[in-house]
Amino acid sequence: MAQITTIGRKTYYDDIIEKGYSRRDFMKFCAMMAAYLGLESSGVAQVAQALQTQHRVPVIWLHFQECTCCSESFIRSSHPIVADILLDKLSLDYTETLMAASGHQAEVAKAKTMKDYYGEYILCVEGTVPTDNNGVYCCIGGRTAEDILKEAAAGAKALIAWGSCACNGCVQAAYPNPTSATPIHKIITDKPIIRVPGCPPIGEVMAGVLVHIITFGTLPELDGAKRPKAFYSKRVHDTCQRRAFYDAGLFVETFDDENAKKGYCLYKVGCKGPMTYNACSVTRWNNGVSYPIQSGHGCIGCSEDNYWDAGPLYRRMQTFPGFGIESNADEIGIGAAVLTAGGLAAHAIATNIRKNKLIEDLITEGKESEKELKK
């Protein structure tokens, strides 16, 4: 297998070997990634080939209004090579949370990457960008998030919006959204954007997206909401281990009832799995140990737009905008039905008074006919 190594720009494989991993470890990593990406078995070779021949793709990773849980999730993805290689020394030219450099040095490193790899680097963004009051709510190095993002996006090959903050605003954009927190795709509209929602997204999913870009040199196939199809085309519900209870109509009513002990479906205690597109029930979390539904807690739908404002987490209802907190469609509907029934009753009474003549005429006419028929 041809191995091209350019001085100064190493391949991923070089870094991996240098780091002390064996080729066997490397191949295991390739096999795992190919599986996550949903490739056929020959895809393993494709991944291995790419990592041995491709120069590392420079990555700039920006943090705005967020909690860093996306980064935390990423460095905990199940294979150590993800953390060690994709992140630690090889790709991330700039990430506030994890890089060694700080202050002026860090900014210089970023500027250098942006200049040297103009049009080549991948810009990863974690967090929302506040736009209210000229963006003063999030400033780094004396500049606003919006300014930094626009500058970095100008030379990026593509953007990756990590996590729900960058994808849909998450909690910062929840009502009343005091800082006008704005997701990335509403600010940068002229670059390809991959949205990887979740709070946080699964580490393996994040690694998978990056490995795909490295392996194929293209963006992964995206769905209508710009999410990678490999990870977001199925609902959590579709591969849920409690799905059989759902179809059987066996539901947990409260978290401490007999049904909860039996592991029934959590639909009625607010599980949002049936509306949530994510890989949790396939990939699971913490090296595939578990995921919320397996652990007895419903899905809160963290990878869906607007999930904070969509209603209570532990009840199967959705609030309705403009009708006060916790009013749902059924309450409003029943109110409207009662009003309608009242209106109809009033109308029926009014009809018998106002249209008395018409009705009387019909009755008289009908009765006369009846009498005549008897004769």
Partner 1 sequence: MNDLAMHFKHLRRVFVWELPVRVYHWINALAIVVLCVTGFIIGNPPGIMFGGEAHESYWFGTVRFLHFASAYIFLFNFLFRLYWGFVGNKYANWKNFIPTNRRFFKEMWEVLKIDILQIKSGEHLSVGHNALAGFIYFLTFIAFAVQCITGFGLYAAMSHSLIARMFVWVSPFLGGDFALRRWHHAAMWFFILFAMVHVYLVFYHDYVEGRGEISSMGGGWKFIEEEVFEEQNSKTSA
What are the residues binding partner 1 (CB under 8 A)?
Answer: 223-225, 234-235, 238, 244-251, 253, 258-259, 267-268, 272, 274-277, 301, 304-307, 310, 316, 318, 320, 329-330, 332-333, 336-337, 340-341, 344, 347-348, 350-351, 354-355, 357-359, 361-362, 364-366, 368-369
Which DSSP category does 4 fall into? -
Q: Work out how close the CB of 83 gets to partner 1 at its nearest, in angstroms, rounded to a whole number.
A: 31
Helices 43-53 and 203-216 cross at an angle (nearest 10°) of 70
Q: Give 2 or 348: the residue with its C-beta nearer to partner 1.
A: 348
Q: Give 238 or 326: the residue with its C-beta nearer to partner 1.
A: 238
Burial class (CB in 10 A: 0-12, 13-18, 19+), 89: middle
Q: Work out how close the CB of 235 gets to partner 1 at its nearest, in angstroms, rounded to a whole number.
A: 6
The closest of 12, 69, 25, 63 to 206, measured between CA atoms, is: 69
Question: What separation in angstroms does the CA of 193 have from each of 122, 158, 171?
Answer: 10, 6, 21
Total Cβ atoms within 10 A of residue 230:
19
Collect all residues with Cβ–Cβ distance below 8 Å to 199 and sequence separation of at least 6.
69, 163, 164, 165, 170, 302, 303
Q: Give 113 or 172: the residue with its C-beta nearer to partner 1.
A: 172
Tokens for 328?
A: 């749902």
Q: Work out how close the CB of 339 gets to partner 1 at its nearest, in angstroms, rounded to a whole number.
A: 9
Q: Give 289 or 345: the residue with its C-beta nearer to partner 1.
A: 345
Q: Work out how close the CB of 284 gets to partner 1 at its nearest, in angstroms, rounded to a whole number.
A: 20
Q: Give 4 or 341: the residue with its C-beta nearer to partner 1.
A: 341
Q: Work out how close the CB of 316 gets to partner 1 at its nearest, in angstroms, rounded to a whole number.
A: 7
